[in-house]
C-alpha cells in the first residue's frame, strides 16, 4: 500500500504569527514564556493540519526558532568563541546573538540554502569541541506524540551535509578535515539515535541534500560510514535519507547505501532520477519517498500527469515500498490559498500552497491505492485549462515584441572604456559613497501604508507623506556627505513585489508569505501571465527626489532574473522566456528614467547566483540566459548614463565571467559578513569595471566602528584600484532602524574620509 509523506512544513503561520511572536520577543513586548507558549501552539496547529489531512508520515522537529542549520549547530555546541563558552543548552538570547550579533560580536555569516531564497546561518567550526547540548529532535517527537498522538518522523540535518555547509577559517569544510570532523561529530548523532530509539521512534528523516551536489564519488563512503554507525547503534530506527533540489548522480551507489529508504526529487531532477530508476530499478525492501509535487512553486499540479508519473515509478517500485510526497520541504511555499480572498478566481483556481499540496499528495496516494479520484482529476484539469487558455497567457503583442528585441543587438552603444570617459560628466569623486537603495521602513511608514491600503488615507495624503519622508532622507544623506543618493523606496514593500504590482502579467497575494531569513518574510509576486510594461513605475518618485538635491540620485529597479528567482513563476513556459519578457518590460522603465533626466540607474540582480543550477552541466545555459535578460533591460541607454547593479550572498569566483558579461558600469557586492571572502574572487581575476564591495553588514543591528569599516575598505583596495572602488553597505537598509542606520552611515563616510586622506586623494 502506497503511503503519503511530508518532508517539512512552513514555520511562520498562515498570517506570520511566528514572525510577530519573535519580533515581539526581541522588542521585549512579550517574555520568553509567552513566546514559547505561542510557538508551541503554532507548531501543534501545523501538525494537526497534516494529521487531519491524512498524511501518513508527518515530520516533526522541522520547526525552528530561527533557522534549522543554526538549530543543529546550537544542539552540538557549535558556537563561535566570540559569543562565549557553553556546556548546557543555549538560552534563547544566546541563540539569537549568534544569528544577529551583539554590540561586541559580529553576527555569524548567513548565506543561501542551496539555490533557494532561504538563507541559513553558516556554522563556524573553528576551535569547536562538539558536545550534545540539546536533543531537540527527541523533544519535538515526544511533544507531537503526547499532545496529538502523532508518531512523527523526526527531521535531522545529516552530519555530512551539516559539516559541508559549515566553515573553518572562513573556508567550507572539505577533504581530510571533513573526515576528521565527521569522526568527532558522528558519536553525537549516535547518541541522538539511541535516545530516539528508546522513545520508540520508528522512522527518522536524515536530510542529506549534499548528496545531490556530490562531485566526488569517493565521498559516498562518508555517508555510508554514517549510516552504518547509526544502524548499528539503533537498528530499530529506520532511516530515510532525504535528497532534494536536483538528481543524484551516483544513483546505484546511493540507493544501495545501508538505509531503509531514500527520498528523491522527481520535479527538479531534469528527468534524471526517473531515468535512473527506470534503468536500474530500486532495491528490494527499501522505501522510495518520491517527490512528485513541486515543493518550490505554487501552481496546482496537473493530477493526471502526476498520476502518470506515479505509474511509471510503480513499474520499478512495489506499492508497499512507495511513499508520495513533495519534492522538498514545503518551507519554500506559502501556507494556504484559502486566505486569498481578492485574487482573480481564474488565477486562484490554478494555485496550490503548502496545505493544498498536501491535499494533492493525499489524493494521489488514494489514487495509487485504487480509490476513485475521478472528480479530483477533472477539477484539476478544468482549473488549469481555464488559466492556460485565458488571455493572461496568450498576449500576442508581448510575444511579438520579445522576438523583435531578441533579433536586434542588445549591447551598449560603446565599450566600457569609452563609456567611462563619457561618464566623466557625472563629476564623481574618488571613492564615491552610496547606499544600495532602501532606507528604514519605520513604524510610521508601515502604518501610513496600512491606512492607505485600508482606504483610511487618500492617495494624495499618502503620496504627500511619502514625499515628506523622501525629502527628509535626501537631507540626511546630504548632511552625512554621501555622494550618490537614493530616494529610499518608502513606497515599496519589497523590491520584487513592488514591480509585481505594476507590471501586467503579475499579481500579488494577501498572505502568500515565505521565510527568507530569521523573522524576515517576503511575499513573492506571482508571474502568472505574459509580462508587459504599461506605464512608468519609478519615474515620478525618482524625479521628485532628484529635484530636492544637487547631488545625483539613482533610479532603482530590480532586474529580470532576480524577479524570476524571488517570484513564483508560471510553469507552462521555460523560465528564460519569462525572463526575456520581464527584461523587455524593464527596458521601457530604464528608458523612461533616462528620458526624465536620471543619470545613474541601478538595475539590481541580487539573486543572480541564487538561481544557479546545482549541477555544473546546466549552469552555462542559465548564466547565458541571465546575461541576455539583463542586457535586454540595460542596453538602450546613452553612454553617459551609468548603469549599476547589485548582488548579495554569493560565491563569485565561478560566475565572474558572467558578471563581467552583464557589462554594468558599476557593481556592488556583499562582502563584510563573509569576512571579505568575496574579495578573493578579484585576487585571481582582474575586474575591469567599477565595483563596490560592501563595507559593513546591514543584517545585524550592531553599529560598525570607523576602524572596522576602514579595515574593510583597505582590504578591498589591495586588489581593486582606487579609481574603480565604490564605498557602500552590503545591502539595502529597509530592515534596520533609523537609530542604527544613521550612525553606521556616518561611520562609513568617516572611514572613507580617513582612507582618502591616507591615500592623499581629493574629491
What residue segments make up the domains of the chain, in order of their start? 3-7+55-63+128-388, 432-759
pLDDT of residue 677: 61
> Environment class of residue 262 by beta-carbon count within 10 Å: exposed (0-12), middle (13-18) or buried (19+)?
buried
C-alpha cell of residue 109: 555569516
Which parts are annotated binding residues for Zn(2+)?
646, 648, 670, 731
C-alpha cell of residue 272: 534524471
Q: For the whole model, what pTM was predicted? A: 0.88
Which parts are annotated binding residues for L-homocysteine?
436-438, 489, 604
Handedness of CA 587, 508, 353, 310 (dihedral sign): negative
State how far the Cα of 423 lies from the Cα of 317, in Å rounded to an integer. 64
pLDDT of residue 763: 58
pLDDT of residue 699: 78
Could you say which of 3.30.2290.10, 3.20.20.210, 3.40.190.10, 3.40.50.150 is the CATH number of the domain covering 432-759?
3.20.20.210
pLDDT of residue 762: 66
For 396-429, how does the pLDDT look when each residue is reduced to its tens digit (9 = 90+)?
999 999 999 989 888 999 999 999 999 999 999 9
Q: What is the CATH number of domain 3-7+55-63+128-388?
A: 3.20.20.210
Which parts are annotated binding residues for 5-methyltetrahydropteroyltri-L-glutamate?
16-19, 112, 117, 520-521, 566, 610
pLDDT of residue 286: 98
pLDDT of residue 493: 83
Of these residues, 270, 487, 699, 723, which one is catalytic?
699
pLDDT of residue 497: 84
For 646-656, how does the pLDDT look when each residue is reduced to its tens digit (9 = 90+)?
987 556 777 88
State how far the Cα of 83 lies from the Cα of 101, in Å rounded to an integer. 9
pLDDT of residue 495: 84
For 537-567, how does the pLDDT look when each residue is reduced to its tens digit (9 = 90+)?
999 999 999 999 999 999 999 999 999 999 9
The reply to whether 432-759 shares the fold of 3-7+55-63+128-388 is yes
Neighbours of 34 (CB within 10 A): 13
Confidence of residue 697 (pLDDT cuts 50, 70, 90): confident
pLDDT of residue 117: 87
Cell 531503509 found at = 260
Q: Average per-residue pLDDT in the chain?
A: 95
Which parts are annotated binding residues?
16-19, 112, 117, 436-438, 489, 520-521, 566, 604, 610, 646, 648, 670, 731
User: 547 CB contacts (<8 Å, ≥6 apart)?
Assistant: none
- Print burial letters for 365-379: b (CB count within 10 Å at least 16), e (below 16): bbbbeeeebeebbee
Active site residue 332: no
Amino acid at each position: 500500500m502506497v503511503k503519503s509523506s511530508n518532508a517539512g512544513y512552513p514555520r511562520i503561520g498562515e498570517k506570520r504569527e511566528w514572525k510577530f511572536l519573535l519580533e515581539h520577543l526581541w522588542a521585549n513586548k512579550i517574555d520568553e514564556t509567552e513566546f514559547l507558549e505561542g510557538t508551541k501552539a503554532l507548531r501543534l496547529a501545523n501538525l494537526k493540519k497534516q494529521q487531519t489531512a491524512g498524511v501518513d508520515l508527518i515530520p516533526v522537529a522541522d520547526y525552528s526558532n530561527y533557522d534549522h542549520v543554526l538549530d543543529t549547530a546550537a544542539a552540538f555546541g557549535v558556537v563561535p568563541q566570540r559569543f562565549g563558552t557553553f556546556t548546557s543548552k543555549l538560552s534563547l538570547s544566546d541563540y539569537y546573538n549568534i544569528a544577529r550579533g551583539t554590540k561586541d560580536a559580529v553576527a555569524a555569516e548567513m548565506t543561501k540554502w542551496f539555490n533557494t531564497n532561504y538563507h541559513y546561518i553558516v556554522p563556524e567550526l573553528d576551535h569547536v569541541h562538539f558536545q550534545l547540548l540539546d536533543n531537540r529532535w527527541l523533544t519535538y517527537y515526544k511533544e507531537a506524540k503526547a499532545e496529538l498522538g502523532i508518531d512523527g518522523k523526526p527531521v535531522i540535518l545529516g552530519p555530512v551535509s551539516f559539516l559541508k555547509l559549515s566553515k573553518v577559517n572562513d573556508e567550507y569544510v572539505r577533504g581530510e578535515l571533513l573526515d576528521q570532523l565527521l569522526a568527532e561529530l558522528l558519536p553525537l548523532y549516535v547518541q541522538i539515535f539511541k535516545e530516539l530509539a528508546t522513545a520508540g521512534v520508528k522512522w527518522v528523516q536524515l536530510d542529506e541534500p549534499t548528496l545531490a551536489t556530490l562531485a566526488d564519488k569517493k565521498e559516498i563512503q562518508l555517508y555510508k560510514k554514517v549510516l552504518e554507525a547509526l544502524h548499528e547503534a539503533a537498528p530499530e530506527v529506520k532511516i530515510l535519507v532525504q535528497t532534494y533540489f536536483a538528481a543524484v548522480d551516483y544513483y546505484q551507489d546511493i540507493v544501495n547505501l545501508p538505509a531503509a529508504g531514500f527520498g528523491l526529487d522527481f520535479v527538479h531532477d531534469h528527468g534524471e532520477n526517473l531515468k535512473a530508476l527506470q534503468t536500474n530499478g530500486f532495491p528490494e525492501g527499501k522505501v522510495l519517498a518520491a517527490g512528485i509535487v513541486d515543493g518550490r512553486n505554487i501552481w496546482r499540479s496537473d493530477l493526471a500527469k502526476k498520476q502518470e508519473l506515479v505509474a511509471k515509478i510503480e513499474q520499478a517500485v512495489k506499492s508497499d515500498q512507495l511513499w508520495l510526497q513533495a519534492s522538498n520541504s514545503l518551507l519554500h511555499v506559502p501556507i494556504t490559498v484559502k486566505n486569498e480572498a481578492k485574487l482573480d478566481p481564474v488565477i486562484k483556481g490554478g494555485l496550490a500552497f503548502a496545505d493544498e499540496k498536501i491535499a494533492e499528495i493525499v489524493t494521489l496516494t488514494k489514487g495509487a491505492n485504487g480509490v476513485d479520484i475521478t472528480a479530483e482529476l477533472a477539477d484539476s484539469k478544468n482549473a488549469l485549462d481555464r488559466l492556460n487558455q485565458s488571455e493572461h497567457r496568450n498576449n500576442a503583442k508581448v510575444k511579438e515584441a520579445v522576438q523583435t528585441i531578441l533579433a536586434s543587438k542588445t549591447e551598449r552603444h560603446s565599450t566600457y572604456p569609452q563609456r567611462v570617459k563619457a561618464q566623466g560628466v557625472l563629476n564623481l569623486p574618488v571613492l564615491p559613497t552610496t547606499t544600495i537603495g532602501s532606507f528604514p521602513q519605520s513604524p510610521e511608514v508601515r502604518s501610513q501604508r496600512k491606512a492607505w491600503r485600508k482606504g483610511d488615507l487618500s492617495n494624495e495624503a499618502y503620496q504627500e507623506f511619502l514625499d515628506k519622508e523622501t525629502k527628509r532622507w535626501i537631507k540626511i544623506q546630504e548632511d552625512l556627505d554621501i555622494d550618490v543618493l537614493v530616494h529610499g523606496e518608502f513606497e515599496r514593500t519589497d523590491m520584487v513585489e513592488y514591480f509585481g504590482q505594476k507590471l501586467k502579467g503579475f499579481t500579488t497575494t494577501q498572505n502568500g508569505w515565505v521565510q527568507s531569513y530569521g523573522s524576515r518574510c517576503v511575499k513573492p509576486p506571482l508571474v502568472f501571465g505574459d509580462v508587459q510594461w504599461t506605464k512608468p513605475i519609478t519615474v515620478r518618485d525618482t524625479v521628485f527626489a532628484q529635484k530636492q538635491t544637487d547631488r545625483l540620485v539613482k533610479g532603482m529597479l530590480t532586474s529580470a532574473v532576480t524577479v524570476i528567482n524571488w517570484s513564483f513563476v508560471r510553469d507552462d513556459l521555460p523560465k528564460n522566456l519569462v525572463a526575456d519578457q520581464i527584461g523587455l518590460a524593464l527596458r521601457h522603465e530604464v528608458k523612461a528614467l533616462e528620458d526624465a533626466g536620471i543619470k545613474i540607474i541601478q538595475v539590481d540582480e541580487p539573486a543572480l547566483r541564487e538561481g544557479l543550477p546545482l549541477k555544473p552541466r546546466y549552469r552555462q545555459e542559465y548564466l547565458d540566459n541571465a546575461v541576455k535578460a539583463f542586457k535586454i533591460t540595460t542596453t538602450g541607454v546613452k553612454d553617459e548614463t551609468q548603469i549599476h547593479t547589485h548582488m548579495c550572498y554569493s560565491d563569485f569566483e565561478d560566475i565572474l565571467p558572467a558578471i563581467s558579461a552583464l557589462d554594468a558600469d558599476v557593481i556592488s557586492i556583499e562582502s563584510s559578513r563573509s569576512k571579505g571572502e568575496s574579495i578573493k574572487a578579484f585576487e585571481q581575476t582582474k575586474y575591469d569595471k567599477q565595483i563596490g564591495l560592501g563595507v559593513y553588514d546591514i543584517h545585524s543591528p550592531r553599529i560598525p566602528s570607523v576602524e572596522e569599516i576602514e579595515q574593510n575598505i583597505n582590504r578591498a583596495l589591495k586588489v581593486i584600484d582606487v579609481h574603480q572602488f565604490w564605498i557602500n553597505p552590503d545591502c539595502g537598509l529597509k530592515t534596520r532602524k533609523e537609530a542604527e542606520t544613521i550612525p553606521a552611515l556616518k561611520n562609513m563616510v568617516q572611514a572613507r574620509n580617513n582612507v582618502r586622506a591616507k591615500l592623499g586623494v581629493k574629491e
